[in-house]
Structure 1
Amino acid sequence: MSKSHPQQWEIVTDDHRPDPSAVAAIAALPTTQLADCGGPVAVVGPGIARVAGGAEFCGPALTVWTKPGDILYVLKAPDLARPGDVLVVDGGGRTDAAVLGDIVSGVLSRAGVVGTVVDGAVRDVEGIDEVGTPTFARGAHPATGSNEGPGAINVTVQVGGVTVHPGDVVRGDASGVVVVPREHLDEVAALSRAVDRRETAWLATIRDGATLSAATGIDEVIRQKRQGAGVELP
């Protein structure tokens, strides 16, 4: 739980957002296929899950680092938000002091923010549900910590063990959250579409009566693995 950041007190105003069409390509894919594609995709660790609001989101990261439990820079973040953004807050994983509630969520929603990911706690869960913005966090807690700082906006942060840069695309759904570096969006989209085609073919083969092992080619994989391990084949 870091109480400092190399860029603390900074507010970076550079526009890091990628091309909207590249974001849309990632949004069309579930987190599971993105995670399985074999490309440069980071999977946010267990513990950060949907707490309130809608079920899924996708957009470029508007990042906030804050001293764990402090809300000062979270309150400033809506001023830098643009339609389609996902607010990503590095709160150091602290769960006994909320850094975001329904008032901030409502302001972010009016600014066009489509999702929020907090490595820490949120509060006013019923209010956030009314706002509707998908909000993923480590949990809920009724009290905040402080509003004294330090903090930083549009800097590199850590969320669930994953490094997030401003403008990286963050995708969340019922299975969890993944982060795609903004410089690899086209590559990851292409690799993930290949996963989708493979899974679609498996399902079609199973519907036609094939077993799961036959549809996926698992029998051959097992045969090769056993042979490589020196196990005598029947």
Structure 2
Amino acid sequence: MSIDPAGLTRRFAALTTAHVADACLRAGVAVRCAPAGVRPVVAGGRVAGRVLPARHAGSVDVFLEAIDRAAPGDVLVVDNGGRTDEACVGDLVVLEARAAGLAGLVVWGLHRDTGDIRALGLPVFSLGATPTGPQRLDPRPADALAAARVGSWTVGPADVALADADGVLFVPADRAGDLFALAESIRDTERRQADRIGAGESLRAQVGFDAYLAGRAEHPGLTFREHLRAVGGAIEE
């Protein structure tokens, strides 16, 4: 699947994962977030790129093989089963990824060499750090380079990884353009609402909250989300 990495980076630069997650919700696309424990190692790091999956079995060779077949702008997504007893990625893998033109890494597991990784500057998101590397060597799965699991989600090259200070989100690559357009609309609505709050008009007034309460009293099944859609507000999605 052809993905324009420069275009992804450019459009995501003016958005957040929250905007895109809200767009997924509005478009009926599954909101696939990495668990909240997956956090940026490099402060201010942002990632947007095609998923390059790799399932770790105790040896670094799977990462080198994945990087060997990567395209510039890909995001190495490492599946180490969410383990917290070993680090599966260190500075040399991150350095190799940077040299190959990757956009960053998402690790469903731990990293080490934190200081060196931060000095390299390539965005890395992981569950945290520990000093020890793997002390095992398991059989390598046949699909080790085909898909990666992050939390409850399985992702692969047909997906795009987006990450920022709020966390990591995966979206289908073939829906990314539409989702970005919708996210931009949500962002612009929220900015207008924020400006109006700053000018003294409460959010409750903007979204007709009194009307919502009256409508809910008459129709108990009315949800606030339905009301927001009717009035063009953006808070929840």
Contact 1:72 1:149 (C-alpha < 8 Å) held by counterparts: no
Amino acid at match of 2:130: H
Residue segments in structure 2 that go unaligned for 5+ positions in a row: 222-237
Which AA in structure 2 matches 1:35?
A: A
Change (3 A) 1:165 1:193: same
Partner Cα separation in structure 2 for residue 71 and residue 53 of structure 1: 25
Instruction: Supply the distance in 2 between the matched residues of 1:217 and 1:133 (Cα, whole angstroms).
Output: 45
Q: 1:88 aligns with which of 63, 73, 77?
A: 77
1:19 aligns with 2:4: yes
Q: CA deviation at 1:75?
A: 3.4
Alignment-mate amino acid for residue 51 of structure 1: V
CA deviation string 1:88-135 (max 9, x = no partner): 011101011111000111111111112110001110000101111111
Aligned residues: 214
* CA-CA distance at 1:17 after TM superposition: 4.3
Identical-residue share of aligned pairs (%): 35
Instruction: Select which of 101, 120, 128 maps to 1:112.
Output: 101
Q: Whole-Å Cα distance in 2 between the matches of residues 85 and 54 of structure 1?
A: 19
1:72-87 to structure 2, matched below 5 A, reads 72-87=61-76
User: In structure 2, what residue type is equivalent to 1:28?
Assistant: A
Cα distance in 2 for partners of 1:181, 1:22 equals: 15
Q: Distance in 1 between matches of 2:156 and 2:51?
A: 7
Q: 1:71 to 1:35 in 2, by over 3 A?
A: same
Counterpart of 1:121 (choices 86, 107, 110) is 110
Q: Matches of 1:103 and 1:78 in 2, distance apart?
A: 12
Q: Is the 8 A contact 2:40 2:126 kept in 1?
A: yes
Instruction: Give 1:188's aligned amino acid.
Output: L
Using the TM superposition, give the Cα deviation of residue 70 of structure 1 relative to its aligned residue in structure 2, in angstroms: 4.3
Alignment of 1:144-183 (within 5 A): 144-145=133-134, 146-147=136-137, 149-151=139-141, 152-183=143-174
Cα distance in 2 between the residues matched to 1:217 and 1:179: 34
The residue number in structure 1 matching 2:20 is: 34
Distance 1:205 1:52, change over 3 A: closer
**RMSD of equivalent CA atoms:** 2.2
Partners of 1:96 and 1:17 in 2: how far apart? 37
Following TM superposition, by how much is the alpha carbon of 1:148 offset from its aligned partner in structure 2, in angstroms?
5.5
Q: TM-score, normalised by structure 1?
A: 0.82
Query: Residue 54 of structure 1 contacts residue 129 of structure 1 at CA under 8 Å; is this kept in 2?
Result: no
Matched position secondary structure for 2:125: strand
Q: Secondary structure at the match of 1:63?
A: strand
* Alpha-carbon separation, structure 2, partners of 1:25 and 1:128: 26
Provide the rounded CA distance (Å) in 2 between the counterparts of 1:114 and 1:54.
14
- Aligned partners of 1:140 and 1:159: how far apart in 2? 17
Q: 2:205 aligns with which of 206, 214, 219?
A: 214
Spell out, residue by residue over 1:44-95, the C-alpha distance to the aligned partner (whole angstroms, 9 max, x if none): 222111124652111111111223x543312332212222111101110101
**Structure 1 stretches lacking a partner, 5+ long:** 1-15
TM-score (norm 2): 0.81
SS at match of 2:48: strand
Distance 1:108 1:20, change over 3 A: closer
The SS at the match of 1:195 is: helix
Aligned to 2:47: 57
CA deviations 1:121-154 (Å, max 9, x no partner) are: 1100001011111111111111111456515454
